[in-house]
Amino acid sequence: MAPESDPLGPTWAISLLDEETRRNPFRVYEDLHRCGAVGWNPRIGAWVVVGYAEARRVLSDHESFSSGIRQDYKRSLYGAPTMIFSDPPVHTSLRQALATSFSASSMRMLRTTVERSVTHLLDQAFSRGSFDFITDIAALLPVAVIGGMLGIPPEDQDLLKEASDQVVSVGVVSNSTARSRRAASSALRSYFADRIRERMSTGPKGDLLDAVCAMHQHPTADQLDVMVAACMLVLVAGHETSTGLLGNVALYLMKRPEIRDLMAADPSLVPQVVEEIARLEGPVQALRRWTPREVTDIGGAFVPADANVVVLTGAANRDPAYFAEPGEFSLDRAGAPPHLGFGWGGHYCLGARLARLEAHVLFTQLLGRAPIRMTVARDHVPYVPSLFVRGPAALPVSVADPVAICL
């Protein structure tokens, strides 16, 4: 696929949004790598970055490539500034307030809780013989864990998950879906405002909600909005990313039973396997930025001020200049740089340790249930219809059907 000539850089007039591309974007990534590192895509109205070095540059330079939202915060779904849609110093302050709750030591303390949640969900699902891996495990585990961290009672978690799903709903946005998203956002804001007020009156319990409450001892209305938005972001972004990772790893192992057998022979390989699949099939395939000022040269392109930029992290993770045989699974990538499956720079995913912990515990326990093997119940697996998020929307499986595709 040869790019069309453009004075500012190459034009890549290829669709990134059609269903087939979203189901399997990797052939498109290969074509784009042959075209260059950065190009203009008129179909989405954005400069697209696929080169690994260029992706790291964009994600590291907030002065040239901003995460700041370009709309009235009060009218946004979160109702206030959040980490994901802000630059330093606002981003730095918000991130520091919650960072300790996602530290390595905090994750070690949380491991037993994750193990109990995994055991409970697997016992329920496997007792039925067939189930949907996404709706019955991958979507419920992150909500249970992050819900517990936020002090959400178990009886409220299903309703909050439904509202969270509405807020991050993808696909074609109609008037009805827009209204549903606004209603869900309003419900989440009201719920977390009540939880914060309650916690500030009853006192700390040693969880993530305490960290949110510590942001402002006597919050103004605007400060309370920021605290509420922090809770919403942790719930929404945390479960979306983790669900995608768990679903992608499960499906990959079902398609590649020899990798499952490799882990069964040596369970200590689970973290390495999860990491390589996160590179190959990351739950977040793209990140959005915009340019407050012109960028005169990135990957041979000139990007004007006030332009949309989409970093295809999924493509950068398969840049042949940095990853040998980039489309192949390999546990031997000595000398290769870190993948961008959880982002890079100041916006590196705050919950990456938690997502990894959930994946490590879940797939270690699945190995421990041998000789039970999960099999895909149908050939066509629907994917989330999004440029930015990649993962199975549903994954019906059976634990008894002796099909060759297994986990």
For position 69, which CATH number holds?
1.10.630.10
Residue 91 has pLDDT above 80, yes or no: yes
Given a contact cutoff of 8 angstroms between Cβ atoms, the answer to whether 48 and 38 are in contact is yes
pLDDT digits (tens, 9 = 90+) for 28-45: 999 999 999 999 999 899
Model confidence at 4, pLDDT cuts 50, 70, 90, reads very low
In a domain, 378, yes or no: yes
In a domain, 13, yes or no: no
In a domain, 407, yes or no: no
CA gap 44, 354 in Å, rounded: 32
Given a contact cutoff of 8 angstroms between Cβ atoms, the answer to whether 34 and 8 are in contact is no
pLDDT digits (tens, 9 = 90+) for 154-191: 888 887 888 887 776 655 455 667 788 888 888 999 99
Task: Read off the pLDDT of each residue in 267-286 and give the average, rounded to a whole number.
Answer: 95
Render 73-127 in DSSP notation, one character per residue. Answer: GGGSSSSS--GGG--TTHHHHHHHHHHGGGSHHHHHHHHHHHHHHHHHHHHHHHH
**Strand arrangement, sheet containing 396-398:** 130-132, 396-398, 375-376
CA gap 394, 381 in Å, rounded: 7
205 secondary structure, DSSP code = -
Domain extent, residue 334, equals 19-398
In a domain, 7, yes or no: no
In a domain, 6, yes or no: no
pTM of the predicted model, to two decimals? 0.91
In a domain, 166, yes or no: yes
In a domain, 203, yes or no: yes
In a domain, 77, yes or no: yes
pLDDT digits (tens, 9 = 90+) for 308-336: 999 999 999 999 999 999 999 999 998 89
Residue 3 has a pLDDT of: 42
Residue 406 has pLDDT above 50, yes or no: no
Given a contact cutoff of 8 angstroms between Cβ atoms, the answer to whether 308 and 14 are in contact is no
The total number of structural domains in the chain stands at 1
Model confidence at 7, pLDDT cuts 50, 70, 90, reads very low
pLDDT digits (tens, 9 = 90+) for 182-231: 888 889 999 999 999 999 999 999 999 999 999 999 999 999 999 999 99
Residue 180 has a pLDDT of: 82
Given a contact cutoff of 8 angstroms between Cβ atoms, the answer to whether 338 and 323 are in contact is no
